[in-house]
A = this chain, B = another copy of it.
């Protein structure tokens, strides 16, 4: 059993974009490691899903998500994967987004987001899908679903996850304005559970893990499933339709034009 675990861990460590480390008490640390900003492209999406599924299969007791490069937790879904692509390429990309989310959201073991960097859009969605969120206090570390501000629309299951986290009224405001919350504001509305000095992050994660690890794991896992299965099912029953909605929306000339403009803007910015 141990040797199989070691074998798997070696396999996992070959995943270029997620750094997997085992902490004491069987806790798996999954650090996003796709410089410069952990953009959720096909590779990172697939590596997150694979590493979550693998450490669960190996009997890990909990997962801590973080960024291997503090500063950006994840910049969200990869715009390049949506720009100038064929419908089939868009379909494949979106299926990776769906599958990554279902693995994280329905993960049977406790998941803690150590949000040690900015967490917009897809980054926020991963954090909201964890069981607990600890955010590092820094003016540049903000969190939110800001899709609308970029001219695109968050998918229904991002919306459902946010409603489950902060309620309908705050979600309506946040999503319509595409708002990125400061740490203080995120704490106040319950988008994160704790706000800590960056240097205290690891200590707080460990303190918190103690609470989660002392609960009987089977009863906790069934309870989590009871609480989340209905939201997950809304996507599971509707995966094909959700993919076609995405393809139809993103392949619109007006959206492609907006994305193109955004890419140009980012390129210009990075040249400075």
Contact B223 A151 (CB under 8 A): no
Chain A facing B: main interface SS: helix
A136 at the interface (CB under 8 A from B): no
CA distance A105 to B94 in the complex (A): 31
Contact A168 B169 (CB under 8 A): no
Copies in the complex: 3
* A interface residues, tally (CB under 8 Å): 45
CA distance A132 to B216 in the complex (A): 32
Question: Could you say which residues of chain B place their CB within 8 Å of the CB of A167?
Answer: 167
Question: Could you say which residues of chain B place their CB within 8 Å of the CB of A151?
Answer: 216, 218-219
Question: Could you say which residues of chain B place their CB within 8 Å of the CB of A159?
Answer: 223, 226-227
CA distance A153 to B216 in the complex (A): 10
Which A192-235 residues sit within 8 Å CB-CB of chain B? 193, 211-212, 215-216, 218-220, 222-224, 226-228
Identify A224's interface contact among B163, B176, B224, B227, CB under 8 A. B176
A123 at the interface (CB under 8 A from B): no
Known: A168-B164, A168-B227. A219 touches B177 (CB 8 A): no
CA distance A26 to B69 in the complex (A): 45
Contact flags A142-166 to B (C-beta < 8 A → 1, else 0): 0000011111111010010001111
CA distance A150 to B220 in the complex (A): 10
Which of A153, A171, A224 has the most C-beta atoms of chain B within 10 angstroms of its own C-beta?
A: A153
Contact B223 A153 (CB under 8 A): yes
Contact A172 B219 (CB under 8 A): no
